[in-house]
Amino acid sequence: MGQQEKVATSLAGAVSEEISASLAPVDAELERRYPGDPGTRQPVHTVYVPGDAFAADTIRSWGDRALAALDEHAPDAASFAAVLGLSDELAEPVYSRVRAKLEREPIEDLRVDFEDGYGPRPDAEEDATAARAARLIAEAYRDGTAAPCMGIRMKCMEAAVRDRGIRTLDVFLTGLMEAGGLPEGLVLTLPKVTYPEQVGAFARLLEAFEKAHGLDAGRLGFEIQIETSQSILATDGTATVARMIQAAEGRATGLHYGTFDYSACLGVSAAYQASDHPAADHAKAVMQVAAAGTGVRVSDGSTNVLPVGPTAKVHDAWRLHYGLTRRALARAYYQGWDMHPGHIPTRYAAVFAFYREGFEQAAARLARYANRTGGDVMDEPATAKALSGYLLRGLDCGALDIAEVARLTGLTRADLESFASPRRGDLTASAK
């Protein structure tokens, strides 16, 4: 045993105590504003259906129509793989999982739309439609036919439609309460936000509803749809979207990019309004940075090129949608919006291929990290967090099975969750 080193210090303990005391407000602010990812399942997509078109069989109908599209335009794994450029190794696993998903859980997140997809209606008609949506969603959760996430997109908080939007929300939420209470998967979307004050007002609206029904404070959260230039950059040059997250006071759950409204707001010609336009990339990059660490998740938008018509046209639309979805996944936008049942096969194909392509490498790297064994990549705790998050998202959507993940990593789901959501102090200490 070698000679024990002499350890000497120069600072009194009071110095450290004074520093800690001075930073206590910052520590508290950091915990409050940057709690990290909530660790809950994030749906891979949002499907929105106009309020008047939403029915008890909507979810099953979309699944059946998506399966019919496969049967007509890609009846087997080889033909589907040829359209999308999938490798031989991925063709069968992806195709079989897509079909199973469409049969079991065709929609992960459904939004009944009372905004652009519904438009202005007589008040009595919108009241009745909102009440009907509440009844059908409550029944779906009771009988086990609901999507994991369901809710409404109301009209925005601008003066012209504000009162109508508030009333629709009230009718809908009150209907859910009268039908037995708010479901766990409830999601609300606030569109066309331009000022943080509109977000703050919506948060107060939800707080008032909670108090009226004796609900826990903070029970109601909501997504902010980013569809205006003002929501990205304010007149003073600051990032409005960051201030919107703060204005929500912990209620914001997501930032959803609105492809077409945002593009039009910037003057992008209709033919070039797409989620891969440079203007879209800039907006989503700002959203991503603003949301990082806050627990607020970012969602990509949609494509309006529908896979309908003759097979050649359907294949072209599928390739476009698949490519846009893969592009978004590579940029860490793990959710998007789908506008047609024909989009669902390529949504799941892109998601499943993304997770299955990188599965073995991610599993091997995480196993080495967990076992502290060597390899050709030296990973940090933050990378282990990303690797485990990747595997968990693959498990949640059905791209991966827990048995194959456990076989390659030696880890349980609880182990993965502990790596994916470490306490801030643990992550910082491990990185030293």
Copy the structure tokens of residue 54: 């939403």
List phi, psi (to 5°) of 225: -90, 125
For 203-251, the pLDDT digits (tens) are 999 999 999 999 999 999 999 999 999 999 999 999 999 999 999 999 9
CB contact at 8 A, 307 and 264: no
pLDDT in tens, 238-287: 999 999 999 999 999 999 999 999 999 999 999 999 999 999 999 999 99
**2: pLDDT confidence band, cut at 50, 70 and 90?**
low
SS (H, E, C) the chain: CCCCCCCCCCCCHHHHHHHHHHHHHHHHHHHHHCCCCCCCCCCCEEEEEECCCCCCCHHHHHHHHHHHHHHHHCCCHHHHHHHHCCCHHHHHHHHHHHHHHHHHCCCCEEEEECCCCCCCCCHHHHHHHHHHHHHHHHHHHHHCCCCCEEEEECCCCCCCCHHHHHHHHHHHHHHHHHCCCCCCCEEEEECCCCCHHHHHHHHHHHHHHHHHHCCCCCCCCEEEEECCHHHCCCCCCCCHHHHHHHHCCCCEEEEEECHHHHHHHCCCCHHHCCCCCHHHHHHHHHHHHHHCCCCCEEECCCCCCCCCCCHHHHHHHHHHHHHHHHHHHHCCCCCEEECCHHHHHHHHHHHHHHHHHHHHHHHHHHHHHHHCCCCCCCCCHHHHHHHHHHHHHHHHHCCCCHHHHHHHHCCCHHHHHHHHCCCHHHHHHHHC
Angle (CA) 163-204-159 rounded to 5° is 30
Nearest CA among 319, 277, 317, 268 for reference residue 300: 277
Q: Phi then psi for 84, rounded to 5 degrees?
A: -95, -5
Distance CA 58, CA 65 (A): 10
Residue 318 has pLDDT above 70, yes or no: yes
pLDDT for residue 11? 87
Predicted TM-score (pTM) of the model is 0.92
Distance (Å, whole) CA 143 – CA 75:
32
Q: In whole numbers, what is the pLDDT of the chain averaged over residues? A: 94
How many other C-beta atoms are found inside a 10 Å radius of the C-beta of residue 154?
27
pLDDT at 170 over 90: yes
Q: What tokens were used for 409?
A: 């990593």
Give the number of other CB atoms < 10 A from CB of residue 144: 6
Query: Model confidence over 354-364: pLDDT tens digits?
Result: 999 999 999 99
Question: What pLDDT does residue 50 have?
Answer: 97
Q: Residue 378's pLDDT is what?
A: 53
The Cα 83–Cα 80 span in angstroms is 5
Sign of CA dihedral 175, 178, 183, 188: positive
Check if the beta carbon of residue 346 is closer than 8 Å to that of residue 312. no
pLDDT in tens, 391-426: 999 999 999 999 999 999 999 999 999 998 765 444
173-208 confidence digits (pLDDT tens) = 999 999 999 999 999 999 999 999 999 999 999 999
Name, in order, each residue with C-beta under 8 angstroms of 248's C-beta and a sequence gap of 6 or more.
199, 200, 202, 203, 222, 224
Q: What are phi and psi of 232, to 5 degrees?
A: -95, -45
In which residue are the tokens 């007149």 written?
235
pLDDT at residue number 430: 38
pLDDT 10s digits, 122-144: 999 999 999 999 999 999 999 99
CA 409 to chain centroid, in Å, comes to 26
- Torsion (CA) 263, 265, 267, 272 in degrees, nearest 10: 10
pLDDT of res. 372: 76
Which of 167-171, 312-316, 336-340, 372-376 is predicted least confidently?
A: 372-376
Domains of the chain: 45-354 (3.20.20.60), 359-431 (no CATH)
- What confidence category does residue 379 fall into, taking pLDDT thresholds of 50, 70 and 90? low
pLDDT band for 13, please (50, 70, 90 cuts).
confident
pLDDT at 393: 96
Q: pLDDT tens-digit profile of 55-80?
A: 999 999 999 999 999 999 999 999 99
Q: Which residues pair with 175 in a beta bridge?
A: none
Q: What is the pLDDT of residue 151?
A: 98
CA angle 365-285-85, nearest 5°? 60
